[in-house]
Amino acid sequence: MLLKKLNRRAQVNNETGLGTNTALNGGRFFNKNGVPNIQPHGLPFWQRLNIYHALLSMPRWKFMLSIILFFIGVNLFFAGIYLFIGIDHLGGMVANTNAEKFGEAFFFSAQTFTTVGYGRINPIGFTASLVASLEALTGLMSFALVTGLLYGRFARPRAFIRYSKQALFVPFRDGVALMFRMVPYTRNYLVNVEVKMTLSLKLEEDGVLKNRFFNMPLDISKATTMTSNWTLVHMINEESPLYGFSKKDIRDAEAEILVFVQGFDESFSNTVISRASYNYADFVYGAKFAPMYHPDPTNTTTILHLDKLDDYITVDLPGYND
């Protein structure tokens, strides 16, 4: 029984905020990118939707595509209104066919929306002038919102950290250690960095399968600065919750390591956080990381190879067979 193998000196963590009933959660707690593996239901879509957060956090191409589609959609809407009012209420039109008239109305809408106003086409009458005024107001408000979103995306504090894809079980100090590494991939260097790791295990207690969480002490959990790759080391000794576990035990317990990183970003002048997750499928037994930095030919600076973050070398590791 896995519960009997669990080291009694392992420190239980009851402050994760995660549920202990295994029947109430599916899969891992966090995805590999640190995003919680949760799909909220029970409220209407529009009440759950956070448009501001979605626009701030979506990929760049989706954000730009959303802006372009919004711009096209708004102008299609107002072009339809101008056509409904009547094309004779737009002075300066030179179009003959219906397609050309729609094109003229669309581009007049775009000029009004952006307040460019070249002047060839102009609204005639109260109704067309009112619609053009409302569109100009809509354009001003839209550009203010887009400007705020662009600034928010540009200046939003976040940790530019990448994690190795695997966590390795490595021979270390006449024993075994579990290691993974992380690296800053921009020049947003962190200071006063602190890393905390929590282990999740599914253990049977009194015939009931429950989630149990344990602190995973690190060899070094704090660093004054983080400018290069950092290999995090958890010694599997008497204080480790994995002490005495075989590879099969770890797989049967569906082990998952939750990683939480916090540091102060000098560029943003703000505290940033980052999360990652490794589950039993991400573990490699009998390997060690390959070096990812070396001095330059003049021996005056250090070359850091970000593309070697996941590189490792296989080594012998007795005691971790199925």
116-168, pLDDT tens digit by residue? 878 788 888 899 899 999 999 999 999 999 999 998 888 888 888 999 999 99
Phi first, then psi, for residue 84 (nearest 5°) are: -65, -40
| Average pLDDT of the segment spanning 72-101 | 87
Residue 39 lies in a domain: no
- Residue 221 has a pLDDT of 92
Residue 319 lies in a domain: no
CA distance linking residue 315 with residue 179, whole number of Å: 14
Each residue's pLDDT tens digit, 197-242: 999 988 877 777 888 889 999 999 999 999 889 999 999 988 888 8
Each residue's pLDDT tens digit, 290-309: 999 988 899 899 899 999 99
Lowest mean pLDDT among 41-50, 128-137, 276-285, 286-295: 41-50
In the predicted structure, residue 25 carries a pLDDT above the cut 80? no
Label residue 217 exposed, middle or buried (CB < 10 Å: 0-12, 13-18, 19+).
middle
In the predicted structure, residue 6 carries a pLDDT above the cut 70? no
| Average pLDDT of the segment spanning 84-90 | 86
Mean pLDDT of the chain, nearest integer: 86
- Residue 81 has a pLDDT of 92
- Residue 288 has a pLDDT of 92
- Name the amino acid, one letter, at 93: M
For residue 41, give Cα distances in angstroms to 28, 29, 46, 49.
Answer: 18, 17, 12, 11
149 and 163 together in one domain = no
113 and 216 together in one domain = no
Residue 35 lies in a domain: no
Greatest C-alpha distance within the chain: 89
Label residue 60 exposed, middle or buried (CB < 10 Å: 0-12, 13-18, 19+).
exposed
- Domain boundary (155, 176, 198) is at 155
| Average pLDDT of the segment spanning 48-53 | 79
185 and 276 together in one domain = yes
- Residue 62 has a pLDDT of 92
222 and 143 together in one domain = no
CA distance linking residue 288 with residue 172, whole number of Å: 10
- Residue 321 has a pLDDT of 63
Give the total number of structural domains in the chain.
2
272 and 241 together in one domain = yes
- Residue 322 has a pLDDT of 58
308 and 168 together in one domain = yes
142 and 184 together in one domain = no
CA distance linking residue 248 with residue 184, whole number of Å: 34
135 and 220 together in one domain = no
106 and 77 together in one domain = yes
For residue 230, give Cα distances in angstroms to 110, 200, 218, 261.
Answer: 51, 23, 12, 12
Domain carrying residue 194: 2-26+158-314
CA distance linking residue 290 with residue 307, whole number of Å: 12
138 and 99 together in one domain = yes
CATH number for the domain harbouring residue 61: 1.10.287.70
CA distance linking residue 311 with residue 308, whole number of Å: 5
Closest CA to 115 of 98, 94, 139, 99: 139
Angle ∠(254,171,218) on CA atoms, nearest 5: 65
| Average pLDDT of the segment spanning 310-315 | 92
pLDDT range class, residue 194, cuts 50, 70, 90: very high
In the predicted structure, residue 16 carries a pLDDT above the cut 80? no
For residues 174 and 185, is the Cβ–Cβ distance under 8 A?
A: no
- Residue 4 has a pLDDT of 57
Residue 322 lies in a domain: no
CA distance linking residue 314 with residue 86, whole number of Å: 75
CATH number for the domain harbouring residue 215: 2.60.40.1400
Closest CA to 256 of 314, 313, 203: 203
CA distance linking residue 8 with residue 90, whole number of Å: 82
57 and 129 together in one domain = yes
Percentage of residues in the chain having pLDDT higher than 90: 43
113 and 185 together in one domain = no
Residue 34 lies in a domain: no
